[in-house]
Copies of this chain bind each other. A is one copy, B any other.
Amino acid sequence: MSLLTVGTVAFDTLYTPHGDAEMVVGGSSQYSSYAASYFTDDINLVSIIGDDFPQSELDDLQSRGVSLDGLKTVAGGKSFFWAGRYLDNMNDRVTITTDLNVLADFDPVLPDSYKQSKYILLGNLTPDIQISVINQLTEKPKLVVLDTMNFWIDNTYDKLIEAIKLCDVLTINDEEARMLSGEHSLVLAAAKIFELGPKYLIIKKGEHGCLLFDRNSVFFAPALPLEKVVDPTGAGDCFAGGFLGYIAKTEDTSFENMKRAIIYGSALASFVVEDFSNYRVKSLTEQEIKDRVQQFVDLTHFQL
């Protein structure tokens, strides 16, 4: 079933304790598309780039079943650029540069071929854009996942609340869940956030894994303990893309199936951090993903 992902396609420059990478390909919808492409070849990408973006990278996305009909190229424009430095713990980062470039005027217009997409991933962008995408759909989607961050909670609170009302699954990190709810306990935070509208909440804790809540249940998935994390950029996006890709493939939005989707998403996230940019997540094999998912089973399961 068709999966629509709206977000950035961008360049990143990354400084890490283990090495640096300059002007490599990044962006949330780029990462989520690759992750979802292991589950479905019916992916509709919505984003904007300048004409500085390499054609070979666009060809690679298309070869994975990603439609670029909704990717606008601005002649003479420059693609979104982010530069950041990861601290020694590889979990915290500081932004050095954010150049919005063409993203500053991004006002996505969905191609007709996208308007009946069934599984929607609203990447971390202004709530205005997230709302606009939902409003352009001509059929009610099966599941809408919305990703956001502290910046939008601080600066566009009312619009964000409006956007959250339209989603089924909200994904945020633990600090953001606390900011949004005013509750320190994540259990109480989830209860408050459900009052805003979503039916499901995913609280991401970086290297400490993530929690999936519905109103009655909670599921926890750890991050895989890794020998080496080269570059955490894109982990959250690959998680979301893998999560929704798995749901699109299985067409099952039950809590039980969401648990599996969380594990597949976590598996995809565990790959992308093993190298810079999209190097690792471009060419995984089915067996690699199957083995990685089995590692999650081994890591978490016990018999009473």
- Chain A residues within CB distance 8 Å of chain B: 88-90, 184-188, 205, 208-209, 211, 217-220, 222, 225-229, 256, 259-260, 262-263, 293, 297-304
Q: In the complex, what distance in Å separates the CA atom of A301 from the CA atom of B212?
A: 13
Residues of B near A222 (CB, < 8 A) are: 209, 220, 222
Query: In whole angstroms, how far apart are the Cα atoms of A205 and B201 in the complex?
Result: 23
Which of B89, B260, B303 makes the CB contact (< 8 A) with A304? B260
**CB nearest neighbor in B for A294:** B304
List chain B residues, Cβ under 8 A from A227: 185, 187-188
Query: Is the CB–CB distance between B300 and A185 below 8 Å?
Result: no
Q: Are B89 and A220 in contact (CB under 8 A)?
A: no
A302, B220: Cβ atoms closer than 8 Å:
no
Complex Cα–Cα for A217 and B297 (A): 12
- Min distance, Cβ A16 to any Cβ of chain B, angstroms: 12
A229 touches which of B185, B228, B262, B263 (Cβ 8 Å): B185
- What residue in chain B is nearest A211 (Cβ atoms)? B225
User: Hey, which chain B residues are within 8 Å of A218, CB to CB?
Assistant: 225, 299
**Residues on B with beta carbons closer than 8 Å to the beta carbon of A299:** 218-220
24 pairs, CB–CB < 8 Å, chain A vs chain B: A90-B184, A185-B228, A185-B229, A186-B225, A187-B225, A187-B226, A188-B227, A188-B228, A205-B208, A208-B209, A211-B225, A217-B298, A218-B225, A219-B299, A219-B302, A220-B225, A220-B300, A259-B302, A260-B302, A260-B304, A293-B304, A297-B304, A300-B300, A301-B301
